[in-house]
Every structure is written in C-alpha cells, then in structure tokens.
Amino acid sequence: MQRKYISLLVVAAALVLLDQGAKFWVLDRLTTAFDGATSKMAVFFGTAPEPGYDGYHFRPKDQIVFSDDFFRLRYAENPGAAFGLFTGVNPQFRGPLFFLVTLGAIALVVHTARKLKGEKNERWARVGLPLVLGGALGNFVDRLARSFVIDFLEAHWFDKAYWPAFNVADTAIVVGVILLLIDSFVRPEPEAPVEKKA
C-alpha cells in the first residue's frame, strides 16, 4: 500500500479514536448515562434510551465553563448533520441519507488522495484529507450506534447568541475543508502535455 494511503488511514483512525474518546468522556462526566451501568461500553455503543421530557436520550448533569461569556462544555444531541442541518427530516430517511453522504465523502477523499503525487505543494491537501475522512467517520459511528451525534463544545456570546454545539469530528471536518480550499487556491494546476508536431 502506498505511503499516502497509510498516512491517510492512520491519521483518520487516530481522529476517530480521539473523537469517540471525547464523546465517551462527555457521557461519563456530563450526563447520567453511565450511572449504575454494568458496562459503560455497552451503554456507549448500545441503543440509546427513549428521549425524556427535554428531548435528550441521556440526562445532562453538569457543564464545564471555561468562560462565562464565551465558551463551555455542555452535553447536547444532534440528530441532524453538522450544525443541525436536516434535523427535520423523517428519521426513516435520515439514516440512509447520512449513510450515502458518508460514502460520498469517503469516495471523494479517496479519489482526491489518488491524484496526489507526494509533491511539496500538496501539503494542504495531505493534511486536510485525513481530517475530513476522520471527522466524517467519527460522526458516522455515532449515527450507527445511536442515531444521533453527541455534541459538547458550545461557543456563545454572553448567552445572547449561540453557535450550534459541535464536537471533535465537526472541528476536524471544518478545518479539513478549509485546508482543502486553501490547497485549491495555492496549488498550481498541472500543465497539459504539449502535443508534438509531426
């Protein structure tokens, strides 16, 4: 296997582990999900209980405030895509839709990685691709396990304006897409081969 594919898979896998580890910690520290559980892993990867009066499947119990006015860690659930997109879609169709989107993202990442030749001017793409892949897979694991994504990073402005809650995988996807956009602007297009005159 070529080195570029190995590095793509290793970084993406490490990101999935980081993302899932952070979400496990969130359930353990910020919710009652594991209270009285005989196996935390069974709860984490198992079918979530029915939502309660607040719409959450797991009960929030705590939050960690880094800045009263700007940033905190607080448990949230997102049945939709990034930033709550497609939340209103029927759950019966939402699952297959996200499955297709994830397959599309994987196919696009692999197709783009195939075109890389290992040149120095491809550094933005070499970093961006595994971030997008790892982020997409991290959130997809959530959807497979419990049909919603665990979010916990909350940026806000004096509790008057809120950025939608997000997670490690969302962050990786956004940073990865930004790097790929930079790559598309700074990397020169390959020159077309010049036809020799007969």
Q: Which of 71, 67, 69, 48 is nearest to 150 (CA)?
A: 48
Does residue 170 have an active-site annotation?
yes
- Non-local (6+) Cβ contacts of 95 within 8 A are 143, 147
Catalytic residue of the set 19, 35, 62, 151: 151
Catalytic residue of the set 35, 68, 69, 170: 170
Does residue 62 have an active-site annotation?
no
For the sheet with 71-78, list strands across it.
63-67, 71-78, 149-157, 161-162
Question: Rounded to the nearest 10 degrees, how much is the dihedral formed by the CA atoms of 191, 193, 197, 198?
Answer: 180
Separation between Cα atoms, residue 143 and residue 149, nearest integer Å:
6
User: Which residue, chain included where needed, has tokens 């297009």?
Assistant: 189
Query: Is residue 41 packed enough to be buried (19+ CB in 10 Å), middle (13-18) or exposed (0-12)?
Result: exposed
Question: Do residues 118 and 2 make contact, with C-beta atoms less than 8 angstroms apart?
Answer: no
Question: Do residues 50 and 148 make contact, with C-beta atoms less than 8 angstroms apart?
Answer: no
Cβ atoms < 10 Å from Cβ of 134: 28
Active site residues: 151, 170
